[in-house]
Amino acid sequence: MKKKEMEYVKNQNSNTKLIRTEILFAPLLLILPFLIGIFLINDWYVRGLLEGNSADFFGELIIGIVIIFGNIIFDIPFIRSLKNLSKTK
């Protein structure tokens, strides 16, 4: 990196803008995968389990569960880091 680029990275103002951007996108990053996972599990339940062909829609159940658990596993540390970072600022 050039010297001028390093000064921009070290600038306190840019860090504040980055934190604000992450905080504004956090609801989208948290809620959207959760809704998609719920939709896939609901689709498996309605079209698969209730209609009697759950084996055909078993992939939707697995993908929905992976999305929800992955969202929980990776987003909890993300929220904690945002809280810690906002407390220090």
Q: How far apart are CA 11 and CA 6, in angstroms?
A: 9
SS3 10: helix
Contacts of 36 (CB under 8 A, 6+ apart): 64, 67
Average pLDDT value over all residues in the chain: 81
What's residue 11's pLDDT? 55
The pLDDT tens digits for 9-50 are 555 556 667 677 777 888 888 899 999 999 999 999 999 888
What's residue 44's pLDDT? 92
Taking phi first (over 0 means left), then psi (-120 to 50 degrees means alpha), and beta for anything else, what does residue 52 get? left
- Are 80 and 34 within 8 A, CB to CB? no
